[in-house]
Amino acid sequence: MITLVVFFGLLFAGLPIAGTILVSAIVFMFSSDLGVLYDSIPIQFYGALEINSLLAIPLFLLVGEIMNKGGLTQRLIAVAQVLVGGLKGGLAYANLFTNAMAASILGSAVAQIGVMSKVMIPAMERAGYNRAFSGAVTVTAGLLGPIIPPSMLMIIYGVVAVQPIAPLFIAGIVPGLLIVAGLALVIFLYGVFGPGLPAGTRSGRSASAKVLIGGLVPAIIPVVVITGIMLGVMTPTESGAVASIIALALGFIYREIKLRDLGKILFDVATNTATITGLIAAASVLSWVLAFQGVPDAVVEVMKGLTDSPFVFLLLVIVMLLVLGMFLESISVLIVVVPLLMPVVATLGIDPIHFGVVCTVATVIGLVTPPVGPGLYIAMVQADIRMGPLFRATIPFLAMVLAVLVVIAAVPALSTWLPAVTAGG
C-alpha cells in the first residue's frame, strides 16, 4: 500500500514517470525488507536495455521525424482528398484515411495527432465543418498510429512481454482496418442523422493523376516494412533501418530536408529514445522486485478468483487499462502492467499476441480521455476549442473504438489469423 501511495504521490507531484517507477521500486524493497537487492539495481537496470528488439525504437522514431520534417504527410493528405474528397463529407473521410496511411509510417499517436491537427482542423473548418467535429475526427483517427504497423507500442509490448515483434506488427493490421471502418461509419451516420456534412469537391483528372503519382511515393515505406516482415525477408529492426533510409532519401528528393536539419532530427530521436528506454529500464527494476516477492503469483490467484473466462478477464483488463490511461501515458501503462498480467494470460491460455493487440488498443484510448488526454490538449491548442465541446464530439467515435475493441477481445482470430497465415506461408 505504501508503494502505491508513493507512486501516485510522486506522479501527481510532477516527477518524471521513470523516476517515479524507480523510487517506487526502492520503497517497495525497503517496506518488504529486501535490502539485499539494492546492490543489484544497476545490473537489472542496465540488463533491461541489452535487448536487440530495442534497436527498432530509434529507427522508427527516425522515420517519423523525417516524415514530419520532409512534408510527406501533406502529400498523403492530397492523395486522400483525391480518393475520397468528392464524397459528401469528403474532408472528414480524407482526414481518417490520411491518418490510416500515416499510421503505417509514424507509429505514434501523439506525433500523428500533432501533425494532422495543424493541417486538417483548419482546412475542415474553412470548408464549413463544425470545429469540434473536426477535432474529434482528428484525435480519434490519430489513435491508429500505434495500431497499424509499424507500432511503437507493439515494440514495447514485445520487449516487456518477451514476445516476437514481427507477429505483433502483423497482428495489428486487421484490428486497425476494423477501427478505420468503424470510424468511417460514425462519419457517415453523422452526415445522415446529424447536422449534415458539407459536399465534397472533385479534382480534374490530370491534377488527380499528378497528385496520386507524387503522393503515393511515400507509401513505399509501409509497403517495404510490412511486406518485408510478412515475407520473412527482414526483421522489424532491419525494416526500420530500410524505412529510415527511404524516408531520408524522399526528404532530400522533395527538397524538404536539408543537411543542416539532420542534427535537430537526430537530437530529437535520441532524446525520445532515451525517454522510452529509461521507462523500460525503470519498469524492469520494479517488475523484478515484484516478481522476487511473488506479487505476480498473487495477481494470478486474485484474477483466477474473479473469473476463469478468458473473455471476461480481457474485459477486466480493458477497464483497468482505460482507467490507468486517464492518468498515465500509454507506454508507462504497458511497461508497468503487462509483466504482472502475463502469468495470468498463460494460465488462462490466452494467446500473447492477441493479448498484445487488446492491450495496445486499450491503452492508446487514454490519449483522448480526460483528465490527462494529451491528444485532446494538442487538438485544443490547434483548434482553439475548449475541452468540453471537443470531448463531447469525440464520444461517438470513442464509443465505436470501444465497440471494436470488445469485438477484438471476443474474437482472437482477428488478431492471430494473419500472423499465423504469414508464418505458415
Sorted by sequence, the CB contacts under 8 Å of residue 92 that are 6+ apart come out as 124, 129, 133, 134, 137, 187, 190, 197
Q: Burial of 417 by CB count in 10 Å (0-12 exposed, 13-18 middle, 19+ buried)?
A: middle
pLDDT of res. 72:
66
Peptide bond into 371 cis (omega under 30): yes
CA 123 to chain centre: 25
Count of structural domains, the chain? 1
Q: Is residue 24 part of a domain?
A: no
Q: Is residue 20 part of a domain?
A: no
Sorted by sequence, the CB contacts under 8 Å of residue 178 that are 6+ apart come out as 404, 407, 408, 414
Q: Is residue 13 part of a domain?
A: no
Instruction: Tell me the three cell numbers of residue 235.
Output: 526483421
pTM: 0.81
Q: Is residue 3 part of a domain?
A: no
pLDDT of res. 415:
94
pLDDT of res. 312:
92
Name the residue among 286, 283, 21, 331 with its Cα closest to residue 156: 331
Q: Is residue 16 part of a domain?
A: no
Peptide bond into 343 cis (omega under 30): no
Name the residue among 251, 276, 328 with its Cα closest to residue 284: 276
Q: What is the pLDDT of residues 85-105, one digit of tens each?
A: 667 777 888 888 887 877 766
pLDDT of res. 398:
92
Q: Is residue 409 part of a domain?
A: yes
Query: Is residue 180 within 8 Å of 173, Cβ to Cβ?
Result: no
Sign of CA dihedral 377, 378, 383, 384: positive
Q: Is residue 402 part of a domain?
A: yes
Residues of the chain short of pLDDT 70, as ranges, are 1, 11, 68, 70-74, 85-86, 104-108, 110-111, 196, 199-216, 296-297, 300, 327, 371-373, 382-383, 424-425
In terms of residue numbers, what domain contains 149?
A: 34-424
Distance CA 82, CA 104 (A): 19
Distance CA 342, CA 158 (A): 12
Q: Is residue 21 part of a domain?
A: no
Distance CA 13, CA 132 (A): 32
Query: Is residue 161 within 8 Å of 339, Cβ to Cβ?
Result: yes
Distance CA 355, CA 339 (A): 12
